[in-house]
């Protein structure tokens, strides 16, 4: 085949492939075909024939796709123009200050305010090329988003092809907007989910996010999502723009002609008074519009003024989000319960009749501490005021005293820990908080510590999450509580693990502890068509049936391997796992690098510890305090001894073969590398004497750039820093900066 015909076959392939993909998508995902099956079959046959002519099957060809194998991979893709955020105003004064600044920046010229409701959803960027939707991305970090094209194609109000005169379609445009779920669609979805025993969502935003980020677009297709456009990113016109686009509102008119949905709540106002009226209107009607809102957005409508005002790296100066004050509602307080945290702090919280506030149903709210409960004088049986701001934990503000039933008794704070029964008290005189002093073996505290030990920043035992920590250390806490909790028949559940000292015994197949996992059960609520049922289920083992005996589940097997692997983690992870106050991953790395073994850290004086770069007196004193051996601390040292005995490595093997090639150098790694994880790249730099930094500055010596690197790469280029790819980074690790030395010294003149 000569080059010209090769190109034309290729072109033919592309055309056919696009059509076949579209029809496959309609048929398998969207559930409605626009062509008869026979036409589709004929097209597919043609495509196969063209592929034979080509001599190979191009990657991603629809001929290789079996129906329903579409899957969104959420590939990271850069936005052509960054997706910015918005600055906030929390009061009318702040709004006036912003408007005053804008006004003076623009030399006092008249402005129009484009007023929009702030939709509580997820920002997306839709790229249309010559009228065709080619890509949909989430906002991501603003520079790089995730490819959700297949999922967005299932949203019926987003056109795959722009409507209107094709002459008005730009060569390329990034249309920015918000994907959301209407309140009515959200209620329908939750009802259906509850009926089918599926997961229900806390609010429309979560439902929209959960639906858009589905691996299987068929699930997205089954959810009703909506979108309103609220901006524009990159635009490239073929010739001149088709209409007057000197205002953002003009762009919206064009969007409407293209069939892109735009909010009916938008308006253009010319005075700040009129803007304020709109703000008040939507504050009072926030629950009577079709979607949840989390504020009100005011934009300068004139595009030339927008350009003049410009943007910071975070947000445009020509727009601002007005945030409404947190919502307050009333409900009945059923009971006050307490929770015991990692450090033994006892926190009271209210159990309430479920109530909808700021878009989600809440039935629990914090009361902070006992002092607060007394001060607010809230009593079970009271009508209480609950406040919630966005994602913030709901809190009980106080009781409506006029509605208090006569003779309602004051709440009596517990005197003993609800988890272990130890008497609770102030750690120090005058403390607002009460604590359970049984740090060593209170099931509730242990559960929180074990969860922390297994977390990513410590031993990184993925199979030991929150529920497994509950099952191991505090299974009783899976029993429902509160005045409305069902009465459950069943024995008191006794914890298997009574100290984290025992944790590594689970790696030993012959240990009694490991055998005990078979008997661990927890309470679980099962949703049935006729209601819900609580039952005791084995946590670590499968249920035995007539034909199959009970065996460890796959996750439990994983738990064994991961615990075994955790024994050889570097020293800093052991330090973090010990829950020493103030010792997080950074301090732990510094201590590990300076001392090399737990024993040497234990022997060190405050001065020696505090002298380490990155460790101050506070951390040093905390370390000393942790290791100090008095009666109340002995249990901590038992942990160290038990872990040591179980084979947990307590020192970093100094690999003498690793040369200090990066001594004194600061290296920043940005983006994903193929052969390193985030942790292993850091280890590689630190073990060679270098400093691994998270931010680019003039002091950075090398910047390693991996896949989808973002703003750090841009900054590094602006600063003219030395940039390396992964392969060059390996050379740097092995040979140090000499690998890249440019010999720019003048050659010596030969005499
Ligand atoms: S304009 C460059 N308009 O709010 C300006 N944003 O808190 C970018 N949002 O990331 C945004 N409704 O996802 C704009 N009418 C509206 C909006 C809106 C909701 C979201 C958007 C943005 C976030 C900032």
Claim to verify: residue 133 and residue 167 sit in the same structural domain: yes
Which one of 297, 306, 390, 391 would you pick to mutate in the ligand 1 pocket, going by the greatest count of ligand atoms within 8 A of its CB? 297
**Can you read off the two tokens belonging to residue 109?**
């010229």
Q: Give the position of tokens 């097997």.
A: 557
Core vs surface per residue 473-506: b (16+ CB within 10 A) or e: bbbbbbbeeeeeeeeeeeeebebbbebbbbbbbb
- The tokens 């299974």 sit on which residue? 475
78 is a domain residue: no
DSSP one-letter string for 86-125: --EE-SHHHHHHHHHHHHHHTTT----EEEEEEE-SEEEE
296-300 mean pLDDT = 98
Per DSSP, 608 falls in state H
Beta bridge partners of 260: none
Please tell me whether residue 232 adopts helix, strand or coil conformation. Answer: strand
Residue 682 domain-assigned (yes or no): yes
Give per-residue pLDDT as tens, 193-213. Answer: 878 777 788 788 889 998 998
The alpha carbon of 599 and the centre of ligand 1 are apart by a number of angstroms equal to 54
Residue 417 sits in the same domain as residue 487? no
- Mean pLDDT, rounded, for 153-169: 94
Which positions ≥6 away from 19 have C-beta within 8 Å? Answer: 43
- Evaluate if pTM is beyond 0.95: no
Last residue of a domain, one of 542, 566, 590: 566
Q: Which of 280, 298, 321 is the last residue of a domain?
A: 321
Pocket lining: 297 vs ligand 1, CB cutoff 6 Å: yes
CATH of residue 629's domain is: 1.10.150.20
C-beta atoms surrounding 665 within 10 Å: 17
747 occurs within a structural domain = no
Pairing of strands 88-89, 319-322: parallel
pLDDT band, very low/low/confident/very high, at 71 (cuts 50, 70, 90): low
* Shortest-distance Cα residue to atom 3 of ligand 1: 230
pLDDT tens for 120-132 read 999 999 999 999 9
Same domain, 270 and 204: yes
Q: Taking Cα atoms as reference points, which of 559, 618, 634, 625 lies closest to residue 584?
A: 618
Distance 230 CA to ligand 1 centre (A): 7
Q: What is the CATH number of the domain that holds 718?
A: 3.40.50.10190
- Please give the distance, rounded to the nearest whole angstrom, from the Cα atom of residue 83 to the centre of ligand 1: 9
Q: Whose CA is nearest to atom 14 of ligand 1?
A: 230
Percent of the chain with pLDDT over 70: 95
* Residue-level pLDDT at 747: 37
Q: Binning pLDDT at 50, 70 and 90, where does residue 745 land? A: very low
pLDDT grade for 575, boundaries at 50, 70 and 90? very high
Confidence of residue 28 (pLDDT cuts 50, 70, 90): low
pLDDT number for residue 48: 83
The reply to whether ligand 1 has any atom less than 6 angstroms from the CB of 589 is no
> At 18, which CATH number?
1.10.287.610
Residue nearest to atom 23 of ligand 1 (CA): 85
What is d(CA 434, CA 128) in angstroms, rounded to the nearest whole number? Answer: 59
Question: Could you give the residue numbers annotated as active site?
Answer: 118
Most confident of 12-26, 121-135, 707-721: 121-135
Query: Nearest to residue 741, comparing CAs of 687, 707, 701, 706?
Result: 701
CA distances from 83 to 292, 301, 369, 561 (A): 22, 18, 41, 42
Q: What are phi and psi of 741, to 5 degrees?
A: -60, 130
Q: What percent of the chain has pLDDT over 90?
A: 59
Pocket test for ligand 1, best of 83, 89, 118 (most atoms within 8 A of CB): 118
Number of domains into which the chain is organized: 6
- Closest by Cα among 73, 49, 54, 72 to 8: 54
- Name the residue range of residue 344's domain: 329-424
321 lines ligand 1 (CB under 6 A): yes
Ligand 1 binding pocket mutation candidate from 86, 88, 227, 301 (most atoms within 8 A of CB): 86
Angle between helices 92-105 and 272-284 (to 10 degrees): 150
Residues 533 and 575 both lie in one domain: no
Longest pairwise C-alpha distance within the chain: 109
On whether the CB atoms of residues 212 and 223 are closer than 8 A, the answer is no
Element (H, E) at 276: helix 272-284
Return the CATH number at 368. 2.40.50.140
Whether residues 591 and 732 share a domain: the answer is no
Residue 626 domain-assigned? Answer: yes
Q: Is 230 helix (H, G, I), strand (E, B) or coil?
A: strand
Under a CB-based contact definition with an 8 Å cutoff, are residues 125 and 140 in contact?
no
Protein residue with its CA nearest to atom 13 in ligand 1: 123
392 or 46: which carries more pLDDT confidence? 46
For residue 236, is it within any domain? yes
Angstrom CA distances, 504 to 453, 496, 513, 517, stand at 12, 13, 10, 14
Torsion of CA 360, 362, 368, 374, to 10 degrees: 130
Question: What span, in angstroms and rounded, lies between the C-alpha atoms of 166 and 146?
Answer: 28
Confidence of residue 361 (pLDDT cuts 50, 70, 90): confident
Residue with tokens 């603003």, as numbered in its chain: 142
State pLDDT tens for residues 669-711: 988 888 888 778 888 898 888 888 888 899 999 999 988 787 8
143 and 288 inside one domain: yes
| CA–CA dist 331, 357 (Å, integer) | 10
Supply the CATH number for residue 241's domain: 3.30.470.30
339 & 307 share domain: no
For residue 682, give the 3-state DSSP assignment: helix
Q: Is 104 part of a structural domain of the chain?
A: no
Q: Hey, what long-range contacts does 514-517 have (CB within 8 A, 24 or more apart)?
A: 514/560, 517/541, 517/552, 517/556
Ligand 1: does its nearest atom lie under 6 Å from the Cβ of 205?
A: no
Residue 749, in any domain of the structure: no
- Strand-pairing partners, residue 129, are 132, 172
Q: Cα torsion for 156, 162, 164, 168, to the nearest 10°?
A: 160
Q: Over the stretch 576-599, which tens digit does the pLDDT of each residue have?
A: 999 898 898 889 999 998 999 999
- pLDDT band for 751, please (50, 70, 90 cuts): very low
Query: What pLDDT, on a 0 to 100 scale, did the predictor assign at position 391?
Result: 59
Other Cβ atoms within 10 Å of 436 Cβ, number: 25
Judge if 401 and 535 occupy the same domain.
no
Give the residue from 272, 298, 321 where a domain finishes.
321
For residues 353 and 459, state if they share a domain: no
Would 490 be classed as within a structural domain? Answer: yes
The verdict on 200 and 167 lying in the same domain is yes
- Going from the Cα of 732 to the center of ligand 1, the distance in angstroms, rounded, reads 43
- Sign of the C-alpha dihedral computed for residues 266, 269, 274 and 279 taken in this order: positive
Q: How far is CA 158 from CA 20, 183, 205, 306, 625, in A?
A: 20, 19, 18, 27, 61
What's the rounded Cα separation, in Å, for the pair 364 and 396?
A: 9
Please indicate, yes or no, whether residues 271 and 334 belong to a single structural domain of this protein.
no
Ligand 1 mean position to 115 CA, how many Å? 12
What CA–CA distance (Å, rounded) separates 95 from 437?
Answer: 50
Looking at the structure, tell me whether residues 310 and 283 fall in a common domain. Answer: yes
Report the separation in Å between the CA atom of 319 and the middle of ligand 1, taken as the mean of its atom positions: 9
Measured distance CA(63)–CA(476) in Å, rounded: 55
What is the per-residue pLDDT for 740? 79
């Amino acid at each position: 085949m000569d080059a010209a015909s090769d190109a034309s076959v290729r072109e033919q392939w592309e055309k056919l492939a696009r059509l076949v993909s579209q029809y496959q998508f309609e048929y398998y995902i969207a559930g409605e075909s626009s062509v008869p099956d026979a036409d589709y079959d004929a097209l597919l046959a043609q495509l196969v024939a063209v592929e034979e002519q080509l001599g190979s099957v191009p990657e991603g060809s629809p001929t290789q796709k079996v129906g329903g194998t579409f899957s969104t991979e959420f590939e990271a893709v850069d936005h052509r123009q960054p997706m910015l955020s918005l600055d906030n105003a929390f009061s009318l004064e702040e709004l006036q200050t912003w408007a005053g600044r804008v006004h003076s920046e623009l030399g006092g010229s008249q402005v129009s305010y484009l007023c929009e409701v702030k939709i509580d959803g997820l920002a997306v960027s839709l790229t249309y090329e010559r009228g065709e939707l080619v890509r949909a991305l989430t906002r991501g970090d603003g520079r790089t988003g995730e490819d959700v094209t297949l999922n967005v194609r299932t949203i019926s109000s987003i056109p795959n092809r722009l409507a209107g005169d094709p002459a008005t379609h730009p060569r390329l445009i990034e249309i920015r907007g918000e994907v959301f779920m209407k309140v009515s669609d959200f209620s329908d979805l939750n009802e259906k989910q509850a009926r089918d025993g599926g997961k229900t969502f806390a609010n429309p935003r979560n439902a929209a996010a959960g639906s858009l980020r589905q691996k299987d677009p068929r699930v997205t297709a089954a959810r009703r999502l909506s979108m309103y456009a609220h901006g524009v990113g990159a635009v490239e016109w073929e010739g001149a723009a088709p209409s007057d686009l000197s205002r953002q509102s003009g762009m919206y008119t064009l969007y409407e002609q293209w069939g892109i949905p735009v909010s009916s709540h938008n308006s253009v106002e010319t005075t700040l008074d009129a803007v304020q009226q709109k703000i008040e209107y939507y504050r009072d009607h926030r629950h009577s519009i079709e979607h949840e809102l989390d504020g009100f957005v005011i934009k300068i409508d004139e595009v030339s003024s927008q350009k003049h005002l410009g943007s910071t790296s975070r947000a445009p100066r020509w727009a601002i989000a007005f945030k409404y004050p947190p919502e307050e509602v009333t409900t009945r307080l059923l009971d006050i319960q307490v929770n015991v945290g990692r450090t033994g702090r006892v926190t009271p919280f209210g159990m309430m009749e479920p109530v909808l506030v700021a878009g989600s149903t809440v039935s629990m709210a914090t009361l902070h501490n006992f002092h607060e409960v007394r001060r607010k004088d809230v009593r079970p049986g009271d009508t209480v005021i609950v406040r919630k701001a966005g994602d913030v934990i709901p809190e009980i503000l106080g009781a409506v005293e006029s509605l208090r039933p006569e003779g309602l008794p004051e709440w009596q704070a517990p005197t003993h820990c609800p988890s272990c029964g130890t008497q609770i008290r102030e750690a120090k005189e005058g403390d607002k908080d009460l604590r359970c002093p049984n740090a060593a073996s209170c099931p509730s505290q242990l559960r929180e510590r074990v969860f922390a030990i297994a977390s990513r920043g410590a031993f990184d035992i993925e199979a030991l999450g929150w529920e497994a920590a509950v099952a191991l250390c505090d299974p009783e806490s899976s029993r429902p509580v509160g005045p409305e909790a069902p009465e459950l028949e069943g024995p008191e559940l006794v914890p298997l693990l009574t100290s984290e000292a025992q944790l590594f015994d689970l790696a030993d197949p012959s240990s009694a502890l490991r055998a005990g996992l078979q008997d661990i059960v927890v309470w679980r609520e099962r949703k049935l068509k006729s209601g819900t049922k609580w039952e005791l289920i084995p946590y670590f083992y499968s249920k035995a049936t007539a034909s199959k005996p009970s065996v460890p589940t796959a996750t439990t097997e994983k738990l064994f391997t991961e615990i075994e692997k955790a024994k050889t983690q570097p020293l800093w992870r052991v330090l973090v796992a010990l829950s020493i106050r103030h010792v997080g991953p950074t301090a732990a790395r510094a201590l590990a690098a300076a001392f090399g073994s737990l024993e040497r850290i234990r022997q060190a004086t405050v001065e020696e510890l505090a002298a380490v770069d990155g460790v101050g007196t506070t951390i040093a004193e905390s370390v000393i305090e942790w290791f100090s051996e008095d009666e109340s601390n002995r249990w901590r040292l038992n942990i160290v001894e038990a872990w040591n005995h179980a084979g947990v490595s307590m020192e970093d093997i100094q690999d003498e073969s690793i040369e200090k090639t990066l001594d004194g150098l600061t290296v920043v790694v940005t983006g994903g590398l193929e052969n390193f994880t985030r942790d292993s790249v850091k280890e590689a730099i630190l073990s060679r004497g270098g400093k691994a930094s998270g931010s680019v500055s003039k002091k950075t010596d090398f910047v390693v750039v991996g896949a989808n690197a973002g703003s750090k790469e841009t900054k590094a280029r602006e600063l003219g820093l030395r940039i390396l790819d992964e392969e060059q980074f390996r050379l740097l690790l092995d040979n140090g900066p000499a690998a890249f030395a440019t010999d720019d010294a003048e050659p010596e003149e030969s005499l």
